[in-house]
Structure formats: C-alpha cells, structure tokens
Amino acid sequence: MTHQATIHPLDEAIELRELDRGIYTGRTTRAYWNMVGPFGGITAASMLQAIMLHPQLLGDPVSLTVNYAGAVTEGEFTIKANPVRTNRSTQHWMLTLEQPGADGAMVVATTATAVTAVRRETWGLSDVRMPEVPGPGNFERAAPAFSSEWFNAYEMRPVSGNFPQVWDDSGDASLSQVWVRDVPGRPLDFMSLAAASDLFFPRVWLRRARRVPAGTVSITTYFHADRAQLQQTGTGYIFAQASGQEFRNGFFDQTAQLWNADGLMLATSNQIVYYKE
C-alpha cells in the first residue's frame, strides 16, 4: 500500500510548475471557489507564490498590488513573473496571469506589481494599535452567509460588523472585525497573509445593508512582518478589521489591518471595489 502525503488546500491552490525561468503554470481548485471564479485572495497568493519561487528573488515581500482585469476561469493558468529592476536592497516585479480565450489565444486576466526587499533592523513603532477585544473563544464561528466554497477554508469568528440580518438599506457603518484562521490549520506565511488580506465581504453590503453586485478591481497589501514574526504567529488566529472610506459613482475603497493574537501588526491593505445599484 502506498502512502500519499496530504497537501493543505491552500498549498494545492497556489501550487505552480515551472515552464521556463519566470514562467509558471497552475490550476484553479474548488476549495477556494467564489461565486463566478476563484476567491480574489487566492489569486493574489498565487501571484506572490510565483515571486517566491523565482530563482532571482531578493529579500521578502514588502508590497503586492493585484489588478483583476477580467474573470479567472476554471482550469489552468500561466503566471509570468519578471524582476524588472533589482537594486542593492530592493527588487521591483511585474506579473501577469493569462488563460486561453475563446479563440485559444492567451488573454490576460490579472496583472500585478510587487516590491521585495532585504529588511534591516531600524527604529520603529505602531501608530495603529490592535483594538482591545476579547479573545476568539468568546465569539461563535460564523456560518457562511451564502454559498461560496472559499468560506469553508477559513474559521471566522466575527467580533462586530457581520453580515446584515436584514437587507433593508438600514446600514449605518462599514467596520467589520473578525478573528480568523485557516481551515485546516496552517502555519502563516506571506502567501496565506496575502490571501487573508482580501477575506472581507464588500463594505457596501454592510454600509447599505443591501447586497448589490460588487467586485474588487485592485488590491494592494503591505507586509509589515518578517519571516520570523510569521513563524511566531504559526497556526494561531489573526485579528482583522476593515472599513470603507468613500462610496461614490460606482466605486468605493476599503482599508484593512491584520494583527496576530499578540497585537503585532502583520499587514495592511487597501482596495478599490466597483458596485452597482
């Protein structure tokens, strides 16, 4: 009898095979499927994975911007990662995710830019501290509010700002706070942190208490933790919060912060989201 090692669903979803230097192929998985395509966070994690696998990589991720140019469809995709400029301590990247179109020609579905760097110890402080909230054991795990496979990939314990109970235009705030961790448990790394930065439902749903069509156009994640701090976080809970800032003319922005249970800021993110009436 042969023994097959079990691979974590996130690692399976971001698994890439090298075709040539800087060119990788992967495949979408059902574990992170959203309503019409993969969960945007797992696409961001796959883009970052291409950088982390690249033989010319310098340092660790500092920022990642992912632009969702079109829908990622079920099946294979190709990611091209190009380090366009390498300095003494920073490296700048351009990436594309492509899939075959209706006529068989490759079509760009996602673009990205990123910065990696060799981090050095310097003076530092945090001007945005983690809110004082009870631990995750004080809150119930939320049931999925609608059918999307990727919800099952996370244990979410809302602290505030969960899905509206009634969709009646009575919303008065856009802030959500939640304790969250991967299911099954998985040690935190840059890829899972990039995915978690996009786990919030659209802020317009909460602010309006109305579920309207909405989708992320672009998300930028800033990584503040180094590898040792991610390893220290391990499989523990992350405390994450997000809020909208401006809703106008079919687009809104939202900002998010993610801390580990010890109050260490791990990452912040900003995204622009389209919405319809």
pLDDT band of residue 102 (cuts 50, 70, 90) is: confident
Residues 98 and 149 occupy one common structural domain: no
Number of domains composing the chain: 2
Comparing CA positions, the residue from 64, 59, 188 lying closest to residue 120 is 59
- pTM reported for the whole predicted model: 0.95
| Residues above pLDDT 90, as percent of the chain | 92
Residues 182 and 251 occupy one common structural domain: yes
pLDDT band of residue 36 (cuts 50, 70, 90) is: confident
Structure tokens at 114: 């990123």
> Is residue 96 in some structural domain?
yes
Structural domain span for residue 198 = 138-275
Do 37 and 71 contact (CB within 8 A), yes or no?
yes
Quickly list DSSP for 159-204: EE--S-SS-SS------EEEEEEESS-----HHHHHHHTT-SPPHH
The predicted pLDDT at position 2 comes to 44
In this predicted structure, the answer to whether residue 265 has a pLDDT above a threshold of 80 is yes
In this predicted structure, the answer to whether residue 39 has a pLDDT above a threshold of 60 is yes
Residues 108 and 26 occupy one common structural domain: yes
Residues 227 and 153 occupy one common structural domain: yes
Residues 253 and 147 occupy one common structural domain: yes
Residues 261 and 155 occupy one common structural domain: yes
Residues 199 and 72 occupy one common structural domain: no
Q: What is the pLDDT of residues 50-81, one digit of tens each?
A: 999 999 999 999 999 999 999 999 999 999 99
The predicted pLDDT at position 5 comes to 61
Give kind and range of the element (H or E) at residue 53.
Answer: helix 40-53
Residues 143 and 252 occupy one common structural domain: yes
In this predicted structure, the answer to whether residue 262 has a pLDDT above a threshold of 80 is yes
Give kind and range of the element (H or E) at residue 10.
Answer: helix 9-13
In this predicted structure, the answer to whether residue 182 has a pLDDT above a threshold of 70 is yes
| CATH number of the domain encompassing residue 188 | 2.40.160.210
Cα of first residue to Cα of last residue in the chain, in angstroms, is 57
> Is residue 3 in some structural domain?
no
